[in-house]
Structure 1
Amino acid sequence: MTEAARAAASSPSGSSGQSAVDDLVALLDLERIEENIYRGVSPASSPVRVFGGQVAGQALVAAGRTVPVERRVHSLHSYFIRPGDPRVPIVYEVDRIRDGRSFTTRRVVAVQHGKAIFALSASFQIEERGNEHSSAMPEVPDPESLPTWNEAAEGYGLHTSDFPRPIDVRYVSEPPWESREDGPGEAASRVWMKADGKLPDDPLLHLCVMTYASDMTLLDGVLAKHGVYWGLDKVLGASLDHAMWFHRPFRADEWLLYDTASPSASGNRGLATGQFFSRDGELVATVVQEGLIRVIKPSPGEGTQV
């Protein structure tokens, strides 16, 4: 979870639990300013740039608002083009690419200061029945038996009390800020996560909340493999692209296992893949992202702490 992710998970009111979830719902409730044009804002407590999960979630909201409710999003592909400015609204322009008999395609461009900062393409489909199979969920402890993010991060200088979160994150694997103490580790991470309160029943909202949350821990495996972590080492990072496939219905306010891994890192870029499983073991979504990760080596005689 980058510094931007931790701050973006803060609610505008500095609240936690249900109040923070309500603030996240409000954050994703875009203002319609014209046909196919929507406007979103950032939390007052945002860092120097907009959290990637926020702009992806808001863009998906904009796309979904132009699609009949019986058509559900099944995939999205997106690129982060420029850092977002949290001090000004983001305008989302929706292009209605195609409305077919079974599928609907939308393209969304997020604009600030007259320039594109993010682009998303999403495909929606009517419900259909057919052959099914999926990966099996790994055996993991129940989320209730695991410490909260604040409890796990206490004592590591990660400003745990400064960032109330609408997303409850429980690490199954060793958190990367702990594993870094032993040097390079496994290029993987597992967490349970869910909205830390009750969400409305709108299926599109649950998809957008998952999109928001999917960017929070996805690059953990890249960091763990090299024994570094945001805020504890000199690491500069940003999401470059983000793709998701939604396989089955789910609720984002019920526990989901997020099983992630990094198959490769090169050229200051790390590739990460993730699978979301519902608590009953169903694979509900798959995620792939490439992130910019620059590790700045300390000068001779300089410590590794920022």
Structure 2
Amino acid sequence: MVDAGGGTRGVSASALKLTVGARTLVSFPRRLVRVAWSLEQVLAGTRPALPLLAQADDGYLVTSVPHTVQLEADGLRFVRQRYTRYYVNLAGGREAWLTALSGQARSGLKRKAKKLAAANGGMLDVRGYRFPEEMAAFHPLARAVSKTTYQERLLGSGLPEDADALIAASRADQARAWLLFLGDAPIAYLWCGADGDTLRYDYVGHDPAHQALSPGSVLMAAALDDLFADRFRWFDFTEGEGQHKRGLASGGVACRDELLLRATIANRAAVMAVGGFDAAMVVAKRWSEAPALKRFAQHVRRA
């Protein structure tokens, strides 16, 4: 990953994929340097510098490029995904944030908190962790939750097994964390790293056995309550969409993740294959939603 204004922190193996739903049909692996726009850069529209590529690198994966910004780079371009980069303006205060939420969102937060409290003997048990000794206690409890989550089992993005980096961040006052308990057991966790005045939504998860209690939403709302009294100006929901992000955010910026690839024959072929496949899938979906074809599909399924 490359942080704008900073140095290269690693090169990731990524891929262009032909996918149908969650199923990958064909994958074209590529060695990419990841360049991530921070929230402050997204809001200001300031461009991060692209580092020099090593000979073995296929190109860049630039994340959270505002849709109003055109990247200046040679080679092939491929938009990987489009989404809104959501955030909470913590400097505006808790009341302003609540007022800006929809009535449905506010009532939903109250209802979920009340339901979970009722399941826990009438009390919400949310515990915050900030200092190194606290983070050392947080880590094994959060890891126990992380092992149950889809983020870890399916995406490989659970809380790291090694606590050293998390504790080091807390020692520099660059981290905050929370756990939500049901009885004596944690059922949801949240760990956030800091980037200047911004706190990022880095690692999150909840035990799916308690999905009906909406533990993730309850914990997120409780964490935001704490943060309005903290030193941070922004809470960054980072890349990607999500109903919970949209419901809690005070603002958002339309962004895209874009691949900038060397103009090689192999890269051209991969981009053409994925682009053509994606276009065909859009057409197929549009046709499948036509009333006549829907009726035909239903008739075939009944036959």
Same fold, TM-score > 0.5, yes or no: no
Q: Structure 1 length as normaliser, TM-score?
A: 0.25
Larger radius of gyration: 2
Higher helix share: 2
The structure, 1 or 2, with the larger RCO (C-alpha pairs under 8 Å, 6+ apart) is 2
TM-score (structure 2 length as normaliser) = 0.25
Higher share of residues assigned strand: 1
